[in-house]
């Protein structure tokens, strides 16, 4: 039996795949090692929602059988992975991070699971999350049936919500990649806090069939990985048309690593106030250094700012209206009182009191916002801003209180709600450390321009090694 070296747990998808095909170890040996690591380390970060060892080992045996016959598929063949626990796995519990749904089982796999199964990726487990993906808003990181997500870089700090388990598991080398979801920051935040690379796709590019709905017009599924290229490889497989999902755009994604345009043909917009004022003083140097790396490639740069709109309030109203409808029975039945966070309980109850007039008013404002943001992209191809302006919160901190500096103007400081309202893709890139905790910048692009973000992100990671850093995890 081959021994799996510790470096494999922090290797890229391409590196692991090459070793599998070279028969340096079997898929069964690789999967067993990952399952062992998942069951041993994931509880340390409150990242384990469900181990799928038996199912994973059966999948691994099938992969080995294929490889022995010379049957090779795509780059994800034989690669272990995990999914956020709002993504359904056939005949397995899908608790949505919430105690009232602990015994919930679905009869079909989510569409993204079907697509990864077709590529023979090996699902080893489900990963923890904030209850109901944070619907209702929550006060503490402990708003989950599995407890507060702990950061592999410092377990006294949060791994980020609501895809907390996905971020921690990738950072700790528990899985090579994971799927998370985002309504307003739930891929980007754990990616930034945990020092991994996260890709929020354009709304509708990846089918959400079989995933818990929080907001029909905002939810997106995307990958958290060790590198930009890994994100691209995963997105290549999970994107595409799904006739059973009415929100599916019908578009596909083909990874194109080589940039078609020269850097001096691409304009990147940024707001100096983001780096000079909004960013925590301890993180400003890291953010400015990252910006300098991007500028150093020869891109044209332009100072920009988001138009003045109440992005957070508009998104919050839309989410409240849609989540209130989705979870109305759960809320009215009183089952909502079994959640862990008092503020989240109160927030969900308030959702069903929202008037149709308020929801429709927010949707009308959203249309104006979308038009304004699309106009902004007439002058730039990509926007760059810190993903989060500070490092991860401490586990015991209240999350409903603002912290850190504020800027004299808005800049791009509200890019997370603005980008989600517009359905735009974003790529979070690790760019440094502050007091031992990661920080990251984000690239935000035009709808369905994921390849452009990926190409720029690949350039950034070719000149930096922040994405290769490892937290102090036991082997």
Q: Which of 26, 128, 131, 162 is catalytic?
A: 162
d(CA 462, CA 455): 11
Q: Which of 186, 207, 413, 442 is catalytic?
A: 186
d(CA 35, CA 42): 10
d(CA 148, CA 130): 8
Q: Which of 19, 84, 115, 126 is catalytic?
A: 84
- Among this protein's residues, is 186 annotated catalytic? yes
- Among this protein's residues, is 162 annotated catalytic? yes
d(CA 65, CA 71): 9
- Among this protein's residues, is 258 annotated catalytic? no
Which residues are marked as active site?
A: 84, 162, 186
């Amino acid at each position: 039996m081959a021994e799996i070296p510790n470096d494999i747990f922090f290797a890229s998808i391409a590196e692991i795949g090459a070793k599998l095909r070279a028969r340096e170890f079997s898929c069964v040996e690789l999967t067993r090692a990952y399952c062992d690591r998942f069951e041993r380390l994931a509880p340390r970060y409150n990242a384990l929602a469900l181990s799928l060892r038996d199912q994973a080992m059966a999948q691994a045996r099938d992969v080995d059988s294929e490889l022995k016959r010379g049957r090779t598929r795509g780059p994800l063949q034989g690669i272990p992975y995990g999914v956020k626990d709002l993504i359904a796995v056939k005949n397995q519990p899908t608790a949505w991070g919430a105690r009232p749904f602990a015994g919930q089982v679905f009869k079909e796999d989510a569409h993204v699971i079907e697509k990864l199964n077709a590529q023979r990726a090996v699902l080893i487990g489900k990963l923890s999350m904030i209850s109901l993906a944070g619907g209702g808003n929550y006060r503490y990181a402990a708003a989950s049936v599995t407890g507060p997500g702990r950061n592999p870089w410092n377990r006294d700090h949060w791994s980020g919500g609501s895809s907390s388990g996905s971020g921690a598991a990738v950072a700790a080398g528990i899985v090579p990649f994971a799927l998370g979801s985002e309504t307003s920051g739930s891929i980007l935040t754990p990616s930034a806090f945990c020092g991994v690379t996260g890709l929020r796709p354009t709304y509708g590019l990846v089918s959400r069939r079989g995933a818990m709905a929080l907001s029909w017009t905002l939810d997106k599924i995307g990958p958290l990985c060790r590198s930009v290229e890994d994100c691209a490889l995963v997105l290549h497989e999970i994107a595409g048309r799904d006739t059973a999902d009415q929100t599916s755009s019908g578009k596909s994604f083909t990874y194109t690593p080589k940039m078609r345009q020269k850097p001096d043909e691409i304009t990147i917009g940024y707001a100096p106030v983001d780096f000079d004022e909004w960013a925590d003083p301890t993180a400003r140097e890291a953010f400015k250094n990252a910006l300098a790396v991007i500028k150093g490639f020869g891109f044209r740069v332009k100072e920009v700012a988001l138009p003045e709109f109440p992005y957070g309030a508009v998104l919050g109203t839309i989410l409240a209206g849609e989540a209130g409808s989705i979870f109305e029975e759960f809320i009215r039945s009183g089952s909502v009182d079994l959640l862990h966070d008092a503020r989240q309980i109160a927030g969900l109850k308030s959702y069903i009191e929202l008037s149709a007039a308020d929801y429709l008013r927010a949707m009308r404002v959203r249309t104006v916002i979308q038009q304004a943001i699309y106009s902004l992209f007439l002058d730039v191809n990509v926007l760059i801003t810190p993903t989060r302006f500070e490092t991860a919160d401490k586990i015991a901190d209240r999350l409903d209180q603002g912290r850190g500096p504020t800027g004299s103007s808005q800049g791009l400081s509200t890019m997370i709600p603005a980008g989600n309202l517009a359905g735009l893709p974003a790529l979070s890139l690790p760019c440094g450390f502050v007091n031992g905790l990661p920080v990251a910048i984000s690239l935000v692009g035009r709808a369905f321009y994921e390849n452009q973000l990926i190409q720029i992100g690949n350039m950034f990671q070719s000149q930096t090694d922040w994405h290769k850093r490892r937290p102090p995890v036991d082997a």
